[in-house]
């Protein structure tokens, strides 16, 4: 290993820059999907929390050692993007990129060879206090740990970076510090913090004189959900966020809330853990939240709504218990109305045949989908109904209102009812001119509505007719692209699915016209194939997953 020959900066800002250079380089490597040949391969077992005090509310780790096959997976994932077509050259290219980052951060005084001989590739960062008073101060309550395999080499490196700093002995460890930062080398860690007290707290933990976060049962239970193969992970004690939330509400003037602040705090979940992981054709960010006894529950279910949409649907969103959700939202809105506004709403509710918050109370799960092609944009809505008779009655009320509007002078609105099998489909023609509205694509002039077999269908173009007639095997719900993205999360609290590749292919001419920089972005954007976000919930854990899938 070579030790950097450099002149020590003498200013506070200069010394802090040298310390931050090491950490920022590692973070840049991770955020840039970097892969460095570190001193030891990753086992997937996280040692990071070993240096973190047990009461630390936030812990974040980056695994540059790419444990459990993450290096190979990431290299293959990156082949979808320009410049990384050869997975075998991925290591060499990123070594060169990382070497450049280190040289830039240190003004040419350091190279990757100065670091990789003793770094293990594990980086941990903890916030040790989230109280409003501390977070409002100039000194962040932060402790950083950088894993090492050779203490002597690391000490040589640190003393070279800070040759003018006077070391302070603390147990068997020397702490190099000034008024701006402190750094120490322990057996397996470089510890870095804005002040020596934070570093001493980390040393106490490593020496066994204070409990570590790794030994905390609640942390261990949450962090056990993180798979061995991951690029990074974060843990947050959400109950510790209470004072920050209260401070934020006070600063924004949110007083007199409908829900008392004490009840709001009681509903906070206990904690959250999230991780980022690579696979050869996808990148996944998944979070797990541990609810408290008062945390509101989320409806979870499984539906066949995706079978009503065409297989080439580009954007699809599925929501659980839409009617109840809208009722809750609109009830608060209606309750906030003054008497005059509420009186003005009464004729509208008379025409609808129900109070506004309850108008869609017959809808349970619902979904919306869309697609863009050379023929224009189509939109579709499908909902499961709990009472088909009520659904049909309220649909008739909407048609009656539209007929009244269509009967007005100079109105171009018309309604026609056609039969599709045994189902009445109401087709409303609207005077829509896409060009006059400034839209670059046609959106059609027909809106169709129908109630059939326990479902409500609303859509433009041929959506409703196709939903009633297409074989299930030709639907989005049966497509390989959708089922692969959804995976095993068929019972969930909601889904967002985007066929990115198909959508960008249709939008490409428009983006080229509207964005001069699109030509540079396009090769990278079009490497994306699909995206899915899906949530699940239970009594013990609430989870949310976002997966980006690339085309190889």
Query: Tens digit of pLDDT per residue, the chain (552 long)?
Result: 333 433 433 344 444 444 555 555 444 443 333 344 443 445 556 677 999 999 999 999 999 888 999 989 998 999 999 888 777 677 677 667 767 766 665 566 566 666 667 888 899 999 988 776 665 666 678 899 999 999 998 888 887 766 667 788 998 899 988 777 889 999 999 999 988 999 999 999 999 999 999 999 999 999 999 999 999 999 999 988 776 666 666 655 554 444 566 777 778 899 999 999 999 999 999 999 999 988 888 899 999 999 999 999 999 999 999 999 898 888 878 887 888 888 888 888 888 888 888 989 999 999 999 999 888 899 999 999 999 999 999 999 998 888 887 666 566 788 899 999 999 999 998 877 665 566 677 788 889 999 998 899 999 989 999 999 999 999 999 999 999 999 999 999 999 999 999 999 999 988 988 898 999 999 999 999 999 999 999 889 999 999 999 986
How many structural domains compose the chain?
Answer: 2
pTM of the entire predicted model: 0.86
Query: Is 551 within a domain?
Result: no
Domain limits for position 175:
12-273
459 plus 502 within the same structural domain? yes
Q: How far apart are the first and last CA of the chain?
A: 39
236 plus 98 within the same structural domain? yes
Angle ∠(324,326,327) on CA atoms, nearest 5: 60
Q: Rounded to an integer, what distance in angstroms lies between the CA atom of residue 23 and that of residue 177?
A: 17
Query: Is 282 within a domain?
Result: no
**Residue 261 corresponds to which tokens in the numbers above?**
């602040």
Query: Is 297 within a domain?
Result: no
How far CA 246 is from CA of 127, 134, 239, 253, 268, in Å, comes to 19, 14, 12, 11, 12
Q: Give the number of other CB atoms < 10 A from CB of residue 471.
A: 8
345 plus 264 within the same structural domain? no
Smallest CA-to-CA distance from 552 within 533, 527, 534 is with 527
Query: Is 287 within a domain?
Result: no
Q: Rounded to an integer, what distance in angstroms lies between the CA atom of residue 399 and that of residue 413?
A: 11
Determine the distance from the C-alpha atom of residue 342 to the mean position of all C-alpha atoms in its chain, rounded to a whole number: 39
- 324 near 296, Cβ under 8 Å? no
Q: Give the number of other CB atoms < 10 A from CB of residue 361.
A: 18
**Residue 399 corresponds to which tokens in the numbers above?**
């048609």
Query: Is 265 within a domain?
Result: yes
Q: Rounded to an integer, what distance in angstroms lies between the CA atom of residue 240 and that of residue 245?
A: 10
Q: Rounded to an integer, what distance in angstroms lies between the CA atom of residue 123 and that of residue 53?
A: 16
Q: What is the largest CA-CA distance in the chain?
A: 91
324 plus 222 within the same structural domain? no
Three-state SS at 183? strand
- 111 near 95, Cβ under 8 Å? no
178-196 as b/e: b if 16+ CB within 10 A: eebbbbbbbebbbbbbbbb
Express the helix, strand and coil content of the chain in percent, nearest 5 each: 40, 25, 35
Give 88: exposed, middle or buried? Use CB within 10 Å, 0-12, 13-18, 19+. Answer: exposed
**Last residue of a domain, which of 273, 297, 330?**
273
Q: At what angle do helices 500-514 and 518-525 cross, to 10 degrees?
A: 170
366 plus 471 within the same structural domain? yes
372 plus 493 within the same structural domain? yes
DSSP secondary structure letter of residue 411: -
265 plus 392 within the same structural domain? no
Determine the distance from the C-alpha atom of residue 43 to the mean position of all C-alpha atoms in its chain, rounded to a whole number: 26
Cβ-Cβ contacts under 8 Å for 531 (sequence gap 6 or more)? 485, 496, 497, 498, 500, 546, 547, 548, 549
221 plus 332 within the same structural domain? no
**Residue 288 corresponds to which tokens in the numbers above?**
């797990």
**Last residue of a domain, which of 251, 273, 295?**
273
Angle ∠(91,109,114) on CA atoms, nearest 5: 45
Query: Is 1 within a domain?
Result: no
How far CA 532 is from CA of 140, 286, 370, 484, in Å, comes to 36, 12, 15, 10
Query: Is 222 within a domain?
Result: yes
Among left, alpha and beta (phi > 0; psi -120 to 50; other), residue 387 is beta
Smallest CA-to-CA distance from 269 within 248, 250, 287 is with 287
Q: Rounded to an integer, what distance in angstroms lies between the CA atom of residue 241 and that of residue 427?
A: 52
Query: Is 86 within a domain?
Result: yes
**Residue 99 corresponds to which tokens in the numbers above?**
């070497």
Determine the distance from the C-alpha atom of residue 14 to the mean position of all C-alpha atoms in its chain, rounded to a whole number: 35
Q: Rounded to an integer, what distance in angstroms lies between the CA atom of residue 505 and that of residue 282?
A: 20
Determine the distance from the C-alpha atom of residue 135 to the mean position of all C-alpha atoms in its chain, rounded to a whole number: 24
370 plus 482 within the same structural domain? yes
262 plus 405 within the same structural domain? no
249 plus 325 within the same structural domain? no
90 plus 220 within the same structural domain? yes
Q: Rounded to an integer, what distance in angstroms lies between the CA atom of residue 203 and that of residue 137?
A: 24
């Amino acid at each position: 290993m070579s030790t950097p020959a450099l002149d020590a900066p003498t200013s506070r800002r200069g010394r802090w820059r040298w310390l931050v250079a090491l950490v920022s380089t590692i973070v840049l490597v991770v955020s840039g999907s970097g892969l460095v040949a570190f001193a030891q391969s990753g086992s997937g077992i996280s040692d990071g929390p070993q240096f973190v005090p047990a009461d630390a509310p936030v812990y974040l780790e980056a695994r540059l050692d790419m444990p459990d096959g993450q290096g190979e997976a990431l290299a293959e994932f990156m082949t979808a993007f320009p410049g990384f077509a050869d997975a075998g050259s991925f290591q060499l290219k990123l070594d060169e990129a990382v070497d450049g980052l280190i040289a830039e951060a240190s003004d040419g005084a350091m190279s990757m060879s100065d670091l990789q001989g003793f770094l293990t590739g594990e980086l941990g960062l903890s916030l040790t206090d989230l109280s409003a008073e501390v977070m409002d101060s100039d000194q962040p309550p932060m402790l950083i740990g950088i894993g090492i395999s050779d203490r002597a080499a690391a000490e040589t490196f640190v003393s070279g970076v800070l040759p003018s700093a006077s070391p302070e002995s603390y147990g068997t460890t020397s702490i190099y510090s000034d008024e701006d930062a402190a750094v120490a080398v322990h057996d397996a860690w470089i510890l870095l913090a804005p002040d020596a007290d934070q570093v001493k707290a980390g040393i106490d933990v490593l020496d066994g004189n204070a409990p570590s976060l790794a030994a905390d049962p609640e942390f261990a239970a949450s962090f056990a959900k993180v798979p061995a193969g991951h690029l990074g992970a974060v843990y947050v004690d959400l109950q510790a966020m209470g004072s920050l939330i209260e401070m934020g509400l006070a600063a924004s003037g949110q007083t007199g809330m409908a829900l008392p602040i004490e009840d709001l705090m009681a509903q906070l979940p206990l904690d959250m853990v999230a991780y980022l992981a690579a696979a050869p054709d996808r990148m996944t960010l998944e979070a797990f939240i541990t609810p408290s006894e008062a945390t509101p529950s989320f409806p979870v279910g499984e539906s066949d709504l995706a079978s009503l949409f065409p297989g080439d649907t580009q954007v699809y969103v599925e929501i659980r218990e839409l009617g109840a959700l809208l009722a809750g939202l609109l009830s608060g809105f209606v309750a906030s109305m003054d008497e005059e506004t509420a009186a003005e709403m009464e004729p509208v509710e008379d025409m609808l045949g129900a109070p506004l918050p309850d108008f869609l109370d017959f809808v349970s799960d619902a979904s919306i989908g869309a697609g863009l092609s050379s023929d224009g944009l189509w939109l579709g809505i499908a909902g499961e109904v709990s009472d088909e008779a009520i659904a049909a009655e309220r649909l008739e009320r909407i048609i009656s209102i539209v007929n009244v509007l269509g009967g007005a002078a100079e109105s171009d609105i018309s309604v026609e009812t056609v039969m599709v099998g045994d189902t009445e489909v109401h087709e409303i023609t609207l005077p829509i001119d896409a060009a006059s509205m400034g839209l670059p694509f046609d959106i059609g002039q027909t809106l169709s509505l129908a109630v059939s077999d326990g479902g409500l269908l609303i859509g433009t173009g041929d959506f409703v007719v196709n939903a009633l007639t297409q074989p299930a095997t030709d639907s989005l719900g049966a497509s390989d692209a959708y089922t692969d993205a959804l995976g095993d999360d068929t019972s969930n609290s909601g889904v967002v699915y985007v066929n990115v590749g198909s959508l960008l292919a249709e939008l490409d001419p428009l983006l080229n016209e509207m964005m001069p920089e699109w030509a540079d972005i396009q090769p990278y954007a079009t490497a994306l194939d699909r995206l899915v976000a899906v949530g699940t919930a239970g009594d013990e854990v609430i989870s949310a997953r976002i997966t980006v899938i690339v085309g190889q």
